[in-house]
Amino acid sequence: MISGPSGTAPARLPELPPAFSLIALDSVGSTNDEARRLAEEGAAHCTIVWAGEQTKGRGRQGRSWTSPRGNLYLSIVLRPDCAPSEAAQLSFVACVALGEAISSLAGSRVEVTYKWPNDVMFNGKKGVGLLLESKSTPAGRVDWVIVGMGTNIEHFPEDARYPASSLRKEGAPASLVPATLLQELARQLETWLDVWRKRGFGDVRAAWKQRVQGLGRAIEVRLPNETLTGVFGDLDRNGALILTFEDGRTRTITAGDVFPQS
Ligand code: BTN
């Protein structure tokens, strides 16, 4: 059972659409690790692992994700019938679903935008991180995709690489707690997974581009061994960032950290 924000009162369990199953844990190392274990044991499409806190939360590029009680930590097992090259599209499906869920609950004081690849920003500061992991079958199809999401509701790191914030700090109402956000997220995910399955990536990409920061502007992209500067030209048909250099050449970026260029 999940504890409430103070760690005392039990929180009410969210009501999810019938297609979803929920595994609610008080504390876990990493919901992604737990979801992965369950996926390997055959967990169904749309199984959600939700934890009140994580003791070994993981971020992108091997970083850790500090996970005290009060925020929303979850991982979703997805079993899309798609090619591995299309799996990254699901992180945009999840990003749009979460962005819409937050936007509908957080009120007008919180402007929700996206930062490539899948960060959700609250008034320009990082409020959500997504971690996508996947496995393919020997036949070259996707076996499972795990989408891990950490949303800063009560807490945020003061010393993050990119300025961070929480929904509470930005003025979200007290009614927005992990259980209510999870419930709305599942509703939105059902919608956006359906859009993706029936109409492809185009509509998801369009929805993501409506809220993205920095499109058409000068950005710096930090890669493990180099830093590139150019204009954020577009998002390609699989979700990669197209960086346009001053001389008109372009480069397709599939992983990296994006910063606005001052
Ligand atoms: C990032 O580096 O921005 C991604 C952070 C992803 C954190 C979430 S919290 C739930 C899930 N479990 C993890 O261990 N990580 C993801």
Backbone angles phi, psi at 64, to 5 degrees: -95, 160
User: How far is the C-alpha of 135 from the C-alpha of 261, rounded, in Å?
Assistant: 35
Q: Specify whether 151 is located in the same domain as 234.
A: no
Task: Indicate the number of domains in the chain.
Answer: 2
For ligand 1, the distance from its centroid to the CA atom of residue 73, given in whole angstroms, is 8
**pTM score, whole prediction:** 0.93
Enter the DSSP assignment of 24.
Answer: E
Per-residue model confidence (pLDDT) at position 145 = 98
**pLDDT tens, residue by residue, 49-84:** 999 999 999 999 889 999 999 999 999 999 998 999
Q: Specify whether 66 is located in the same domain as 196.
A: yes
For ligand 1, the distance from its centroid to the CA atom of residue 59, given in whole angstroms, is 5
For ligand 1, the distance from its centroid to the CA atom of residue 127, given in whole angstroms, is 12
Q: Specify whether 51 is located in the same domain as 150.
A: yes
Q: Specify whether 248 is located in the same domain as 194.
A: no
Comparing C-alpha atoms, which of 98, 91, 79, 78 is closest to residue 182? 98
Nearest CA to ligand 1 atom 2: 59
- Give how far Cα 95 sits from Cα of 5, 25, 115, 219, 221, Å: 24, 23, 10, 21, 20
Q: Specify whether 250 is located in the same domain as 154.
A: no
Atom of ligand 1 nearest to the CA of 30: 14
The CATH number given to whatever domain includes residue 12 is 3.30.930.10
Per-residue model confidence (pLDDT) at position 238 = 86
- Residue 201 makes CB contacts below 8 A (sequence gap 6+) with 86, 89, 92, 237, 238, 239
- Which range of residues forms the domain containing residue 138? 2-211
pLDDT cut 90: percent of the chain above it: 85
Enter the DSSP assignment of 13.
Answer: P
Task: For residue 254, give the 3-state DSSP assignment.
Answer: coil
Q: Specify whether 228 is located in the same domain as 151.
A: no
Nearest CA to ligand 1 atom 9: 150
Q: Specify whether 135 is located in the same domain as 234.
A: no
For ligand 1, the distance from its centroid to the CA atom of residue 71, given in whole angstroms, is 12
| Residue 221: count of CB within 10 angstroms of its CB | 21
Report whether residue 129 contacts ligand 1, using a CB cutoff of 6 Å.
Answer: yes
Atom of ligand 1 nearest to the CA of 29: 14
Q: Specify whether 170 is located in the same domain as 226.
A: no
Q: Specify whether 227 is located in the same domain as 206.
A: no
**pLDDT tens, residue by residue, 127-183:** 999 999 999 999 999 999 999 999 999 999 998 888 999 999 999 999 999 999 999
For ligand 1, the distance from its centroid to the CA atom of residue 11, given in whole angstroms, is 22
Report whether residue 149 contacts ligand 1, using a CB cutoff of 6 Å.
Answer: yes
Comparing C-alpha atoms, which of 155, 150, 137 is closest to residue 6? 155
Ligand 1, pocket-test mutation among 48, 63, 65, 149, most atoms within 8 A of CB: 65
Report whether residue 65 contacts ligand 1, using a CB cutoff of 6 Å.
Answer: yes
Q: Specify whether 140 is located in the same domain as 222.
A: no
- Residue 203 makes CB contacts below 8 A (sequence gap 6+) with 195, 196
For ligand 1, the distance from its centroid to the CA atom of residue 58, given in whole angstroms, is 5
Q: Specify whether 50 is located in the same domain as 74.
A: yes
What 3 state SS string does 49-91 have? Answer: EEEEEECCCECHHHCECCECECEEEEEEEECCCCCHHHCCHHH
User: How far is the C-alpha of 124 from the C-alpha of 86, rounded, in Å?
Assistant: 29
> End of a domain among 187, 211, 235?
211
Q: Specify whether 189 is located in the same domain as 79.
A: yes
Q: Do 219 and 230 contact (CB within 8 A), yes or no?
A: yes
Ligand 1, pocket-test mutation among 56, 149, 151, most atoms within 8 A of CB: 149
The CATH number given to whatever domain includes residue 241 is 2.30.30.100
User: How far is the C-alpha of 222 from the C-alpha of 228, rounded, in Å?
Assistant: 6
